[in-house]
Amino acid sequence: MTEFIHRFEPATSAGSPPLLLLHGTGGDENDLLGLGKMISPGSALLSPRGRVLEHGMPRFFRRLAEGVFDEDDVRRRALELGDFVTDARKQYGIAAPIAVGFSNGANIAAALLLLEPDVLAGAVLLRAMVPLSDPPKAELGGKPVLLLSGQADPIVPASNSARLAALLSEAGARVDHKVLPAGHQLSQADVTLARNWIGSVEAKAA
């Protein structure tokens, strides 16, 4: 298995989709387990820790400055993460997961959708930005994506999240983009919307 420190919690409900939980800067493999259980009770949870350190804080890829990504590293790290998910699926016997990413974790999830569409069944992108200025032509074939942005987010400009929504839609994803009266941090509205969205995706799959 591509080496990521990670947590895995098996499903407790057969019908719930597995979740790939991807933390923000400075988080770890424990950070989003509670969120995963809130938005999809019963799902298998796969939660890796980012392998890049920025001033001692784990991240999923390097950045050159706030909002300026090392895009070669984004590509390399997204492919590493894709290999990890593929290996973990075999080891733990789970289906392709829905990524649930916050901030840096949402950005690597968006990159993974564009670079290796088959790895994920869909994604919940919380405060995500466009990860690649020149993304490959991806074919997302109707994959469901929920993009939740903060109206007062000091890190992600509204124009950037709108561009990400358009980029994923053009690649064939079924994008539901909502702008919440929030900043960069998550709110109760994020939890409620994500839970309802995963419930609707689950119902369609059934």
E-state strands within 67-110: 68-69, 98-102
CB 40, CB 9: distance < 8 Å: no
CA-CA distance, 125 to 107, in Å (whole number)?
Answer: 8
Q: State how far the Cα of 63 lies from the Cα of 176, in Å rounded to an integer.
A: 27
Active site residue 177: no
Q: Which residues, 6+ apart, have CB-to-CB distance to 68 below 8 Å? A: none
Residue 153 appears among annotated catalytic residues: yes
Point out the catalytic residue in the list 23, 31, 43, 153: 153
> Residue 38 in contact with residue 19, Cβ under 8 Å?
no
Instruction: Report how far Cα 142 is from the mean position of its chain's Cα atoms.
Output: 17
Catalytic residue among 43, 103, 149, 161: 103
Catalytic residue among 6, 16, 28, 184: 184
Torsion of CA 68, 70, 62, 102, to 10 degrees: 60
Spatial contact of 126 and 148, defined as CB atoms under 8 Å apart: yes
Active site residue 184: yes
**Locate tokens 């994803």: which residue?**
173
The residues annotated as belonging to the active site are: 103, 153, 184
